Amino acid sequence: MSDLSNMIAANADWFYLVGAILFVLTLRGLSSPKTAIRGNRLGMVAMAIAVVTTFFLAEGPVLWLIIGAMVLGAIVGMWKAKTVAMTQMPETVALMHSFVGLAAVAIALATVLHTEQQHGAVARVELFIGCFIGAITFSASVFAFGKLAAKSWAKTLVGSWVKPVQAALFIAMIAFGGVYFVTDSLPAFYAMAVIAVIFGWMWIAPIGGGDMPVVVSLLNSFSGWAAAGIGFTLGNSMLIIAGSLVGSSGAILSYIMCKAMNRSLLNVLFGGMGTSAVAAGGDDGAPKNYKAGSAEDAGFLMANASSVVIVPGYGMAQGRAQNAVKELYELLKEEGVNVRFAIHPVAGRMPGHMNVLLAEADVPYDDILEMDEINSDFASTDVVLVIGANDVVNPSAKDDPTSPIFGMPILEVTKAQTVMVIKRSMSTGYAGLDNSLFYMDKTMMIFGDAKKMVEEMVRSINGAGH
């Protein structure tokens, strides 16, 4: 056993290099639904290599405590993975980010309290950065979890006092961090950590629901940078590499999502959109007329169309309708209808939410198209079926300069001949904005649970003898 330990310790850099390469290949695999499973498996192997190698490098580890914690975490993680509903996936992801941030803070505090070790200037900078990014990630992710899970304690903060308080907290956090750097003062470090936790909460709390997908993506990036910062503190190259990969990929994804909304990251984080339920600009509050229809009407129209585009939104996730949608898709395909799915980059409540749902239902990847790929096809589309989406198909983004989402690229479903929208009611979407699409002559509203309505469409098509 000692020979094995010596061999692994002597070649730790090589093992870490293999793990790093596997992590890079993991991200490459996760970039496509077709290779996502393989990418996930490579990531598991890479993490196993990193953990085992680190065990043999540690000086006098308390094995029973470490292994016990790992086993307990694995049990909870596997249970949660098997039981979490797809509608709860966004808040689950946010909660996992909070644990990464908390771990970074715990490691930083343990390192600071290690009185036998002297911390030089560089080490103090590393501890400061790792701790405050981890603390912000922790509290911000907890709030994002509460917001996405519609918890009563996750209340959106509004008012002119919010930004001055945010600025004061940020300045105080940096100031105490500076004091710690200069004097190596433990009270200053503790104060910095506490203020960072409060700042994380105050920073995310004013952001509206419409921007939560970007927030989740950014917190994913923050969790990576927190891990990388602590990797420097511990002198662990594997943690630095893995954290940097997560941090950079999360930052790139955040940029892509902001570009999809035609907004800057700073505007999302400090401007806010959808912080209250307001009507789109130009709305005088007068009653509006809309045309309602039935699932049978929708089934008839789609069965007799030559081309159908399905636009999934959070309503599909909420109703757990993805399998029913897959059945509708297959039935229409059998009837010779050209059926495809249109995905907006910020549809749902986390990055890739709709892609995950459709992949779970085994919808063929070739028929799942991104916004830029399918927007030009709507003009030649007979029927568009929108399932629980609101903001990503809202024409106000293109034709109402007073709308909060003006300039945001949308799925241009209004160009199709007929649009059908499944919604529970005429209530506004997650960003709190009304949608003029619902009142157009070409639009038919279908009210009810997404899964139930789609199943009725399937029965209607089957019952009509198609």
Q: Which of 284, 297, 391, 400 is catalytic?
A: 391
Amino acid type, 436: S
- How many helices (H) and strands (E) the chain has is answered by 18, 6
CA–CA gap between residue 9 and residue 16 (Å, rounded): 11
Tokens of 433: 């904005």
For residue 132, report the phi and psi dihedrals to the nearest 5 degrees. Answer: -75, -35
CA–CA gap between residue 353 and residue 86 (Å, rounded): 9
199 contacts 157 by C-beta, under 8 angstroms: no
Among 272, 277, 341, 276, which residue's Cα sits nearest to residue 311? 341
- Give yes or no: 3 in active site: no
Residues written for the chain = 466
CA–CA gap between residue 317 and residue 298 (Å, rounded): 20
- CA angle, 212 then 214 then 219, to 5°: 90
From residue 51, alpha-carbon distances to 6, 63, 236 in Å are 16, 13, 11
300 contacts 448 by C-beta, under 8 angstroms: no
CA–CA gap between residue 275 and residue 283 (Å, rounded): 18
From residue 425, alpha-carbon distances to 42, 312, 421, 429 in Å are 44, 17, 11, 10
From first CA to last CA, the distance across the chain in angstroms is 69
From residue 286, alpha-carbon distances to 42, 283, 292 in Å are 57, 8, 19
Among 147, 218, 136, 140, which residue's Cα sits nearest to residue 170? 136
337 contacts 306 by C-beta, under 8 angstroms: yes
In sequence order, what are the residues at sequence separation of 6 or more whose Cβ sits closer than 8 angstroms to the Cβ of residue 110?
Answer: none
- β-pair partners for 445: 292, 421
Among 322, 343, 312, which residue's Cα sits nearest to residue 410? 343
90 contacts 212 by C-beta, under 8 angstroms: yes
Tokens of 8: 């692994």
Collapsing DSSP to helix, strand or coil, 350 comes out as: coil
108 contacts 127 by C-beta, under 8 angstroms: yes
Task: Give catalytic residue positions.
Answer: 391
